[in-house]
Each structure stands twice: as structure tokens, then as C-alpha cells.
Amino acid sequence: MTANPAEECRFRGLAVSRGISTGEIQFKDRHFEEPRRWAIQPEHLESEEARFQEAIFKTRTTIQALKKQLLDRGGDHSEAHIFDAHLLVLEDQTVIDEVLKQLRQEHANVDSVYYNVILRYIDSLKSIDDPYLRERAIDIEDVAGRLLANLSDDDSASASNETPHVIFAQDLAPSDTVGLDRSRLLGFATRLGSFTSHTAIMARSLGIPGVVGLEVPKGKLRAGQEVILDGFNGVLVVNPTEETRRKYERLSEQQAALNDRLDELRGEPAQTADGKSIILSGNIEFGHEVDAVKRRGAKGIGLYRTEFFYFERDRHPDEDQQAKAYGDVAESVDPDGVIIRTLDVGADKFYADDRQAEPNPFLGWRGIRVSLAETDAFKIQLRACLRASRRGKVRIMYPMISGIEELRQSNALLQECKEELRKEGLPFDENLEVGCMIELPSAAVMAHQLAPEVDFFSIGTNDLIQYTIAVDRINERVAHLYPPAHPSILRLIEMVVKAAHTHNIWVGVCGEMAGDPLFAPVMIGLGVDELSVGPSQILRVKHALRHLNSAECEDLVTELMKMQTVEEITERCRTLAKQRYGDFYQ
């Protein structure tokens, strides 16, 4: 696809993952939305029919190309099968005949006729109480979205993924990102999102630049245009001039030099200048990210978000598949270990097959609530974790615990699983540690009661902040109101650490706040025992720790606790960061 000869233009957003990428832009949106409707004169009906046939042809070519790409990349045949199903939907003769018939009766544009015909099929499938058929409705929406985009001549539908590219989308759900060919991904640019949205987490974990909350008026971007994505300053530059290109090349070189310096820290311990050690581990979403964590010398995996593994396939993985995947990770990070977080679906992490709209998804069907309602699936995951513990150190962690009942119910199910495995003669680590995330204010407040029931806590600041301050973590309109340095958050973390230590259990932080070098002294000063951060942040955080003194961190926290505003707290942290590790903090 060729770039438009056009002037350079810039769009601003929120920088969420560092780095600079230059390449072509491609779209990831194929929204199944009602198209505009207009009348068609009888003499134009034939060309309208031809437009329809041409769009079917274009869509077929794209689907076939996608299938080939997947197989070429070594994808599994069962995944590629989905594209065969999409072709069947696309070429369903009943639908095509119906569209042609309606076109002649309604004398309306074929986009609108097709939309209405296919919508009836989708609605009837969705009304059937069978998850498999509901899933098929999503497939039909997917194909219909592609076809409608082709009818409206939207380049996104036929964009090829062959060349390295920056993805532009409204937002990227985990289920959108699993199918992406990561070897050609240069960056993520989205209209929605904030620092802790999953697009942002994913970009940081892949080590590619990410800019979210971009205000790009519709029609201003075309697939194939040359762009520079600046993940330091939150800018998307379209059609960069030679001068801009040179400026960014210089910036990339400077960054590469800094990264080389950071690399030298790989084998060094994560400790303050005066020798206070902290466990520094990595967060992963996919098993293969373990290498990125190990390469940077982190101590195991402090958060394995298993929902991504679920989305990677069209059917939920069974117990053997899960046991193998978790065991592979455990084995490769032994003896440091992996903390496997049980499924945290819902809210921004959709169930691929059940995207039912909820009025308040973050307050809805999410995390441990789903697992405790669907205990068969939960027990399969718990048994798989237990079985994996035979191959290396595994810890289990529950997400979104709101109080003691959920924790006790989860632990009771875990006991049941242990009993079953013992009877079946399947070995597992009898001393396996169990922890829970502290990411709801209710859990933080009740940490004293929760602590005796677990072996560790891991504070999930991404959710803790959104639920404490009532700021949706993926809504770019309120992203500026999402301050980690809010005095209430510092107090909640302090409470949780005290509760944990009183009960002799360790406490970590695995939310994005842990990976921000600005807050490294706060974490030390508050007495946190472990930090689990995205792979790209490991060495930056280690560098910060090694330039701090534990006494000054404690004094800092005493000072911060007397402050009332986010601004004062942030400014104080910034001053210390600049003094101690300014070159890497900028």
C-alpha cells in the first residue's frame, strides 16, 4: 500500500510505553456498525450488485491471506480452521440470495441491505442459550464487519500485515491482540485507553512503543501511511518530514545507548546502595515472555496473567494443556518460581466467547466472581496449577478478592483439588504457597483479616487506584484523574504492608506503579518485599533501587504521609528521582 503524499501532521495522546517506531500504519478495527442508508435508482441496481460481489471477493482474499499467514507462522490448524468457518459465512448462498432480493425490493444501498439481513441472523443466534452458537454470532459479526468495511472502501478491511507496522485501533482487547504477528508489530496507537489499560500493559510487555487516548478525527488516517510513533512524548507523527525523521533517529540512538548501560545491570542484585534487598520479578501474559524476563535478570515471575492464555485458542484449554503451559513456565524459572494468577476475565479482559455488554463492566462479572460461579472451570485451573508445581516452584494467587468469604471459598476449592489429586496419585507441591491480590479497597481495609488465610499478598495498584478514586482505568477522558501518587493510595499500601508483616507474610506490588522508577523509593520506604514489573521496566527499576538509600526512602515516606495533594507528592518523588537517577528517569 502506498503512502499518501501529504503534509506532516501530529496527533497527541498519552505515552504509555517507551520507544520510537517508524513504519506504516494499519488498522485493527472492523466494527460491525450500521452503515448509512441511501436510495438507489433502478438503473443503478446492477452496479450495486457488482459492488457487493466485488466486496465479497475482496473479503475472501483477505480471509484466505490471513489463514495463510497464520499457517506460515506455524499456527495451529485448529486456529486456522476459524478462517474456513469465516469463508463459509461469507459465501453462504442463502444470505447472498436474500441480500440480492432485498436490494431489488428496497432500492437502498447494498451496505444497508446486507447489514439488515445479516443482523437478523446474528440476533437469532444470539437469542439461543448456547455458548457455542453465541460464539458463532461473533464470527459472523467479524466477517460482516470486514465485508461492510470493504463495501465502504475502508482500507482497514484489506490491510495486509506482511510489512512491519504500527497498529491503530479504537482500543485493543486481549482477544484482539493474541492473533497479532508480534514479529511485525512496531507499536500500538489507540483512541481509548490509559496507562494501565491492557493495550498499554501489552505494549510495555512486548517492549514496543504505545500511545493511547489519541485524538484522531475520523478519516484523517489511511492504512499504509508512513508514521512515527513516539512512546516517550505520546505523539503519532503522520507523513514525517526528513527533518522530523532525523530528529527521531537521534533520539532512538540516545535511547539505545541508555539501554546498553542498563543491560550491564542484568547480573547485579536488586538492592539499595546500602544493601537492602528487594525481590524484583517480572509480569507476563504469555509463556514465551519468560525469556524476556530472564534476559533481564529478574527473580522469577511475580504475576502470570492467565486470561491471555485462555484467549489464545478458540476453546478454553483443558487441564492437561494448562498443566503443561504452567509447568513449562515454572520449570524455566525454577528455583525462583512463578505466581500464577487464576483467571481474571471480565471488564477490559473479555471472555472471547461471551462479550455481553454490561452497564458497569468494572463493577460486574469479573475475576474471582466468575471463577466462584463457574467452579468446574476454576477447579480445572487449580488442578492444573497444582500439577505444574511438580515441575518447578509454583504459587497460586486469586484476583479481585473483596473479602474473606471469597478467599475462604477459593481456598476450600483448592483443598478439594488437592484431595482429588492425592486420591488420583498425581503429585504436586504440598507446600505450595497461596496468595491473593489486594486490588479492591475493601480487601486493603480488611488486610488484617485476610492475612492469616494466605501466604502472601500482591497489591494490584491498577485496580486499587481505579476503585479507590472511582476513575475508570481505560477511559482516556479521566486518565488525568488517575494518580498513583494519591495520598489515599499511599495510605492503603501502608496499611496492607503493616497487616502483612504483622502476620508474618510477605507482600509485593504487581500493578504498573511497581514498574515506575518514580515510585521505587516509595515502595522501599513503605517496606514492600517484592516488586513485579513488566519486562521492559525490570532494569530501569533495578537501576533506581541501586541508586537509593533505604533510610532516605523511609524519610521520604514519612514526609509524603504529611502531604495532602497528588502534586506535592509527585513533585517530591520527582526531585529525588532526578537527584538519584535523573538520566534514566527523564
Q: Which residues are catalytic?
A: 198, 510
535 binds, among ligand PEP, Mg ion, none (CB under 5 to 8 A by kind): none
Least Å distance, CB 516 to ligand PEP, is 12
* Cβ–Cβ under 8 Å, residues 528 and 277: no
C-alpha gyration radius of the chain: 25
* CB half-sphere exposure, 134, CA atoms < 13 A: 12
Q: Which of residues 287-306 bind ligand PEP (CB under 6 A)?
A: 303, 305
| Pattern 410-449, ligand PEP, x by CB under 6 A | -----------------------------x----------
* Cβ–Cβ under 8 Å, residues 145 and 165: no
Per CB under 6 A, the segment of 133-141, 187-195, 272-280, 456-464 that binds ligand PEP is 456-464
Residue type for position 272: T
Q: Does 472 bind ligand PEP (CB under 6 A)?
A: no
Q: Which residues pair with 281 in a beta bridge?
A: 532
Nearest-CA neighbor of 441 among 477, 478, 410, 403? 403
111 binds, among ligand PEP, Mg ion, none (CB under 5 to 8 A by kind): none
Judged by CB under 6 A, the residue of 230, 289, 344, 429 near ligand PEP is 344
Least Å distance, CB 397 to ligand PEP, is 10
Q: Does 171 bind ligand PEP (CB under 6 A)?
A: no
Pairing of strands 20-27, 14-17: unpaired
Distance CA 551, CA 543 (A): 18
Distance CA 86, CA 94 (A): 15
Q: Which of residues 529-558 bind ligand PEP (CB under 6 A)?
A: none
* Helix (H) or strand (E) segment spanning residue 261: helix 242-263
**Strands across the sheet with 9-12, in order?**
9-12, 235-238, 226-230, 20-27, 165-169, 185-190, 210-212, 14-17
553 binds, among Mg ion, ligand PEP, none (CB under 5 to 8 A by kind): none
Pairing of strands 433-438, 394-398: parallel
Per CB under 6 A, the segment of 6-14, 68-76, 371-379, 459-467 that binds ligand PEP is 459-467
Distance CA 493, CA 459 (A): 8
Q: Does 474 bind ligand PEP (CB under 6 A)?
A: no
Least Å distance, CB 53 to ligand PEP, is 45
Q: Does 144 bind ligand PEP (CB under 6 A)?
A: no
Pairing of strands 338-341, 394-398: parallel
Distance CA 54, CA 229 (A): 34
Least Å distance, CB 76 to ligand PEP, is 26
435 binds, among ligand PEP, Mg ion, none (CB under 5 to 8 A by kind): none
* Cβ–Cβ under 8 Å, residues 435 and 509: no
The nearer residue to ligand PEP, 492 or 510, going by C-beta atoms, is: 510
Per CB under 6 A, the segment of 48-56, 108-116, 262-270, 461-469 that binds ligand PEP is 461-469
Binding-site ranges for Mg ion (CB under 5 A): 439, 460, 463
* Cβ–Cβ under 8 Å, residues 581 and 540: no
Q: Does 462 bind ligand PEP (CB under 6 A)?
A: yes
Residues in contact with ligand PEP, counted by CB under 6 A, come to a total of 10
Q: Does 486 bind ligand PEP (CB under 6 A)?
A: no
Q: Does 284 bind ligand PEP (CB under 6 A)?
A: no
* Cβ–Cβ under 8 Å, residues 383 and 420: yes
**Which residues of the chain form contacts with ligand PEP (CB under 6 A)?**
303, 305, 344, 439, 460-463, 510-511
